[in-house]
Amino acid sequence: MQPLADLPLVLSQSNLQARAGLPEFTLAQVETWITAPAEGGEGWGEVKPCLLVRVTTNAGIAGWGEAFVLPCREKAVAEIIHALGQASVSLQPAWPWVFRDMALRIASKHRGLDFSAASSALEMALWDIYGKLAEEPLCKVLGGHTRRAVPVYANIWSDMQWDATSLAMRASGLVAAGYTAVKVHPMLNHSVTEAVQAVARVRAAIGDEIHLMVDLDTQDDPETSLSVAERIASVRPYWFEEPVDGQDIEGLARIRKTTGMRIVTGEKHCGLPHFRAVLTAGAADILNPDIAGLGGLLDMIEVAELANRQGVKVSPHCWNSMTVAAAAMLHVCAAIPNAEMAEIYPEYVEHGARYATTGFRLDGAHAHLSGRPGLGVDIDTNALRDLSRHFRSSRLTTARATR
Ligand SMILES: [Mg+2]
């Protein structure tokens, strides 16, 4: 089978179908679970609700997907998933690219993040099924640049109140645990002066050899970001993420030119036109669309191909569970030639282990994929149901219900 990454940018439904050579399937059932908020591991922040999806085929093969959900939207995105699930039962066969065509048609080119998150979850589950049918890990199905060890970094975002001392301690603790790159969010609830001090304290705590990423979480005033950039330049941030909102492409380009720092953007955006505009404007060095929010793995590969033509890298955003979506992120990073370090939330790992065997092993610097078919993730649905009781969210759509 020819890896999809070797195919032209505009993927043809007919040639993909011809390459598949696998038993065709239809979609018989879609189930969703929304996990309740939970205490994060190691006492650093809370695990947000995560929205997981299981798709079962007419032949009884199950695949897992996950949707990127921002607060208060979990049930709304689940509703979109079930509506798209109903629409998908007529797909014969329900290959991921056939589903994607249908989702794009339904969206009429106006997807929005929540619709894209829903379609991402279903397409991800269909890829999991595809990999299982092909008896190959998804990275092998998707790309010709397969690497089993994917470089990762630790995101030290937290909803807790922190100060420079506790942030520096958390960073040095993660480095002691083996992480070789960490990301901080110094402007969350802090002044410019406090943020600059916090970044300096973290650099002093972790030493010069560790990569330090700085995420400004979309400042309203570009001058604020420029001021922070100037004052933290001496600690050599590995990248400077979202100094302004991703919609402000001109602003991003100006900050990139002025600071000379690697600019990262894209986590809450979807649709190729947006990323094409970012690339055309020379506004980013690294794109980070969310692996479970962009629209699907095919969209992620297309964005990666567009970026690669301009020497821009891709580091999929993954503010999701460290189970299904993280596995999808790692398989994509293993498959594309221009992957940057993949995003890990260390506090979420313990929570995921309560209901999932992920199919990858973290050693801090890398995630090692197991080589199991599809995403390689096993889910204990009883444990997942227990964790989802808070939302009373477990529900299903069946093919029968549509007739
Ligand atoms: Mg960010």
CA of 251 to the centre of ligand 1 (A): 16
220: pLDDT strictly greater than 60: yes
The CA 332 to ligand 1 mean position distance, Å, reads: 19
Q: How far is the CA of 134 from the centre of ligand 1 (A)?
A: 35
Centre of ligand 1 to C-alpha 212, Å, is 14
Find the 56 Cα to ligand 1 centroid distance in Å: 33
Question: What is the predicted pLDDT for the residue at 1?
Answer: 37
Widest distance between CA atoms in the chain:
64
Q: How far is the CA of 341 from the centre of ligand 1 (A)?
A: 14
Mean pLDDT of 165-194: 96
Q: What percent of the chain has pLDDT over 70?
A: 92
Kindly indicate the confidence band of residue 18, based on its pLDDT and cuts at 50, 70 and 90.
very low
Q: How far is the CA of 37 from the centre of ligand 1 (A)?
A: 20
Q: What pLDDT, on the 0 to 100 scale, is given for residue 295? A: 95
Predicted confidence (pLDDT) per residue in 304-320, tens digit = 999 999 999 999 999 99
Amino acid, single-letter form, for residue 201: R
- Ligand 1 mean position to 48 CA, how many Å? 16
Mean pLDDT, rounded, for 332-351: 95
Average the pLDDT over 320-325 and give the result. 98
327-to-124, 137, 193, 333, 374 alpha-carbon distances in Å: 10, 11, 38, 10, 10
CA 336 – CA 300 distance, rounded (Å): 10
For position 144, what pLDDT does the model report?
Answer: 63
* Residue 192 scores a pLDDT above 60: yes
Q: Is the link from the previous residue into 137 a cis peptide, with omega within 30 of 0?
A: no
Residue 29's pLDDT band (boundaries 50, 70, 90)? Answer: very high
How many whole angstroms from 272 Cα to the centroid of ligand 1?
19
Ligand 1 centroid from CA 356, angstroms: 26
How many Å lie between the centroid of ligand 1 and the Cα of residue 217?
6
Q: How far is the CA of 344 from the centre of ligand 1 (A)?
A: 12
Task: Please say if the pLDDT value at position 193 is more than 70.
Answer: yes
Q: What is the mean pLDDT of residues 138-149?
A: 82
What's the CA-to-centroid distance between 401 and ligand 1, angstroms? 40
Q: How far is the CA of 241 from the centre of ligand 1 (A)?
A: 6
Q: How far is the CA of 68 from the centre of ligand 1 (A)?
A: 13
- 3-state class of 193 per DSSP? helix
Domains and CATH numbers, the chain: 4-135+380-402 (3.30.390.10), 140-377 (3.20.20.120)
What distances in angstroms separate CA 43 from CA 21, 159, 164, one per listed residue? 49, 11, 17
Q: 238 alpha carbon to ligand 1 midpoint, in Å?
A: 14
Distance 16 CA to ligand 1 centre (A): 34
The per-residue pLDDT for 400 is 52
Amino acid at 203: R
CA–centroid distance, residue 288 to ligand 1 (Å): 8
Distance 176 CA to ligand 1 centre (A): 24
Q: How far is CA 247 from CA 12, 277, 315, in A?
A: 30, 10, 18
Strand partners, 149: 368
Nearest to 123 by CA among 82, 78, 64: 64
| 290 phi and psi angles, rounded to 5 deg | -70, 135
Among residues of the chain, what percentage have pLDDT more than 90? 83
Per-chain residues with Cβ under 5 A from ion ligand 1: 215, 241
Band of residue 200 on the pLDDT scale cut at 50, 70, 90: very high
Give me ligand 1 centre to Cα 188, in Å.
Answer: 11
Ligand 1 centre from 303 Cα, in Å? Answer: 18
Higher-pLDDT residue of 391, 215: 215
| Range list of H helices, 135-248 | 138-142, 164-176, 192-206, 222-232
Of the given ranges (8-22, 38-52, 201-215, 298-312), which has the lowest mean pLDDT?
A: 8-22
267 CA → ligand 1 middle, Å = 6
Distance 261 CA to ligand 1 centre (A): 16
* pLDDT tens-digit readout, 240-253: 999 999 999 999 99
Question: How close is the Cα of 104 to the center of ligand 1, in Å?
Answer: 26
- CA of 264 from ligand 1 middle (Å) equals 8
